Structure 1
Amino acid sequence: MQTLPKERRYETLSYLPPLSDAQINRQIQYILEQGYFPAIEFNETSEPTEIYWTMWKLPLFNARSTQEVLNEIQACRSQYPSCFIRVVGFDNIKQCQILSFIVHKPNQGGYRY
């Protein structure tokens, strides 16, 4: 039996390899299909004690396509290239965050958006 190498784990889906562009697109599509509101957040670190991230603009209440969300991710990444960036999905009925996943890690490849 082999154990996982010791490394930092981030958010939902953190035990999987980095998401491809198509997988990121599909996760955002899932958020929209479920009626959740996507939002983009960024932070300089991803330490477990850092529970509050800075929100990039307001949640994307009127987003109807994945491309709208991807454009905002790219804008955030352009302005804050040295920060971790994640997408979160908010449920307006339960009034809480349902899911989140990292779409950009600074100084690491594997994420285009």
Structure 2
Amino acid sequence: MSEMQDYSSSLEDVNSRKFETFSYLPAMDAERIRKQVEYIVGKGWNPAIEHTEPENAFDHFWYMWKLPLFGETDVETILAEAEACHKAHPENHVRLIGYDNYAQSKGAEMVVYRGKPV
């Protein structure tokens, strides 16, 4: 049996904190983020973008970037909005969400830009 890897993560060390399942995988490059957006669009989910300060990521609601992109199917538009949010708030974490209307819940959620700790 293989050994489980321990991911050292603590509240005191902002850089060590993990977010959602994808945080335990290698960082996604632009192509992998694009594939996730394509998946969200392919499922018919509504994309939305949120951001927050690194120190508030666990105990505060995240700020909505504009309104959810209801019915948006253009991958370039969704990626451009995520990048615009990151440029407007470079110190904040930015995450992409795919809302599943039928299940009335999030079908996907991932941090696409990590902010710089203060």
| Range class of TM-score, shorter chain | 0.7 to 0.9
Deviation at 1:89, TM superposition (A): 0.6
1:111 aligned residue: none
Structure 1 vs Structure 2 CA RMSD: 1.7
Q: Aligned to 1:83, which of 65, 89, 92?
A: 92
Deviation at 1:2, TM superposition (A): 6.0
Give the number of equivalent residue pairs: 107
Deviation at 1:91, TM superposition (A): 0.8
Q: Aligned to 1:26, which of 19, 35, 45?
A: 35
Q: How does 1:1-113 map to 2 (within 5 A)?
A: 1=3, 3-7=5-9, 8-45=17-54, 47-50=57-60, 52-107=61-116
> TM-score, normalising length from structure 2?
0.82
Tell me the distance in 1 between the aligned counterparts of 2:22 and 2:7: 16
Question: After TM superposition, which residue ranges in structure 1, 4 or more long, deviate above 2 angstroms?
Answer: 1-5, 45-50
Question: Which runs of no fewer than 5 residues in structure 1 stay unpaired?
Answer: 109-113
Structure possessing the higher relative contact order (Cα contacts under 8 Å, 6 or more residues apart): 1
8 Å CA contact retained: 1:12, 1:99: no
Tell me the distance in 2 between the aligned counterparts of 1:24 and 1:96: 21
Tell me the distance in 2 between the aligned counterparts of 1:40 and 1:80: 12
Q: Which has the higher helix share?
A: 2
Q: Deviations over 1:5-48 (max 9, x none)?
A: 40321123121011011100000000000010000000012543
SS in 2 for 1:13: helix
Query: Taking every aligned residue pair, what percent have the same amino acid on both sides?
Result: 34
> TM-score, normalising length from structure 1?
0.85
Deviation at 1:62, TM superposition (A): 3.1
